[in-house]
C-alpha cells in the first residue's frame, strides 16, 4: 500500500539559511499534519491542512510557513534557521471526517526529514 | 487541556513473553481517540492500534491489544509473544474532539531480550 512520502530524507543547512520540506500524502487522504520531534522528545504538532485550508495551528514559529496544494501535497518552509530547529520533521496524512465521527481519522506518518542546522 | 502520561521510560521483556505498556490520559472532550505508535531506531513512526472513546470493545490488531479502561482514563498497550523486532520506542497519543492534532506521551523504550 502507498505510504506518505517525504523529501528530502536528510537535510543539512547553515544558520540563517532557508529550507523547504515536502510531503506527499497517501492517495485520497485530504488532511496533512506536520510534527517536529527534537532529540529524545515526543513529536510536537506544528500545523495541519484540510482540503488545502489551514485547519489547526500549534507551536509553529513565525519563521515557518506551510501550505497544501491542489494535488494535496504540502510544503513546510523554514526561514532564518536556528540551531534549535535541528529535529526530525514528520508529515502525516489522514482521511478527514470533520462532519461526523464515522472514521478513525488515523494519522499515518511519513519516514520524516531529518534536519540538521550547523 | 489534553494530556498523555507514560510513566515507564524504559522496560525489558523476555522474548516470547507478553508486556504491558502503560498510558493514562486526561481530556474534557466527550469524544476522543487513542492511538499507539511504534518508533524503531530508524526513526519512522508506525501506527499500531486505535481505540475510540465510544468503542465498547477493546481494540486488537494481531499481537497488539489495547486495554481500555475509560473510568480510569487508561489505555494500556499489550504486546503478546514479544519478538526481538519489537524493541523500539512506543508512543501513546490522543486526538480530541475539538482538534484533530495528536498529543503524544513521552514514550516508553522497550527492549526485548533473547
Percent of chain A residues past pLDDT 90, beyond the cut: 86
Q: Is the pLDDT of residue B38 over 60?
A: yes
Q: Is the pLDDT of residue A100 over 50?
A: no
Q: For position B30, what pLDDT does the model report?
A: 87
More confident residue, B104 or A59: B104
The answer to whether B104 contacts A112, with C-beta atoms less than 8 Å apart, is: no
Q: For position A102, what pLDDT does the model report?
A: 43
Give yes or no for A58 touching B (CB within 8 A).
yes
Q: Cβ of B65: how many Cβ atoms within 10 Å? A: 19
The answer to whether A114 contacts B45, with C-beta atoms less than 8 Å apart, is: no
Chains A, B: CB contacts under 8 A, how many? 61
Looking at the partner chain, which of A42, A94, A105 has a beta carbon nearest the beta carbon of B106?
A42
CA dist., res. A110 & res. A90, Å (int): 6
Which chain A residues are within 8 Å of B108, Cβ to Cβ?
Answer: none
Cβ(A87)–Cβ(A78) below 8 Å: no
Q: For position A104, what pLDDT does the model report?
A: 60
Query: DSSP for B86-112?
Result: G-EEEEEEEE-SS---EEE---EEEEE
pLDDT tens per residue, range A4-24? 999 999 999 999 999 999 999
The three cell numbers of residue B77 are 498497550
Q: Is the pLDDT of residue B99 over 80?
A: no
Q: Which candidate, A33, A100, A49, places its Cα nearest to that of B35?
A: A33
Give yes or no for B103 touching A (CB within 8 A).
yes
CA-nearest residue of chain B to A96?
A: B100
Percent of chain A residues past pLDDT 70, beyond the cut: 93
The answer to whether A106 contacts B99, with C-beta atoms less than 8 Å apart, is: no
Amino acid at each position: 500500500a502507498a505510504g506518505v512520502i517525504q523529501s528530502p530524507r536528510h537535510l543539512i543547512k547553515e544558520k540563517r539559511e532557508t529550507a523547504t520540506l515536502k510531503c506527499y500524502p497517501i492517495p485520497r487522504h485530504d488532511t496533512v499534519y506536520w510534527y517536529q520531534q527534537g532529540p529524545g522528545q515526543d513529536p510536537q504538532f506544528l500545523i495541519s491542512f484540510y482540503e488545502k485550508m489551514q485547519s489547526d495551528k500549534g507551536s509553529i514559529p513565525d519563521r515557518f510557513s506551510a501550505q497544501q496544494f491542489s494535488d494535496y501535497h504540502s510544503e513546510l518552509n523554514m526561514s532564518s534557521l536556528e540551531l534549535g530547529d535541528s529535529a526530525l520533521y514528520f508529515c502525516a496524512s489522514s482521511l478527514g471526517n470533520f462532519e461526523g465521527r464515522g472514521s478513525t481519522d488515523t494519522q499515518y506518518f511519513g519516514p520524516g526529514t531529518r534536519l540538521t542546522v550547523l | 487541556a489534553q494530556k498523555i502520561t507514560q510513566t515507564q521510560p524504559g522496560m525489558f521483556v523476555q522474548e516470547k513473553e507478553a508486556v504491558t505498556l502503560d498510558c493514562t490520559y486526561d481530556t474534557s472532550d466527550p469524544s476522543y481517540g487513542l492511538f499507539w505508535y511504534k518508533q524503531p531506531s530508524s526513526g519512522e513512526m508506525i501506527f499500531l492500534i486505535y481505540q475510540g472513546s465510544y468503542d465498547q470493545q477493546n481494540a486488537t490488531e494481531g499481537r497488539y491489544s489495547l486495554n481500555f479502561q475509560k473510568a480510569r482514563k487508561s489505555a494500556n498497550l499489550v504486546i503478546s509473544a514479544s519478538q526481538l523486532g519489537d524493541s523500539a520506542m512506543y508512543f501513546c497519543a490522543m486526538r480530541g474532539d475539538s482538534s484533530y492534532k495528536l498529543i503524544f506521551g513521552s514514550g516508553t523504550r522497550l527492549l526485548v531480550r533473547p
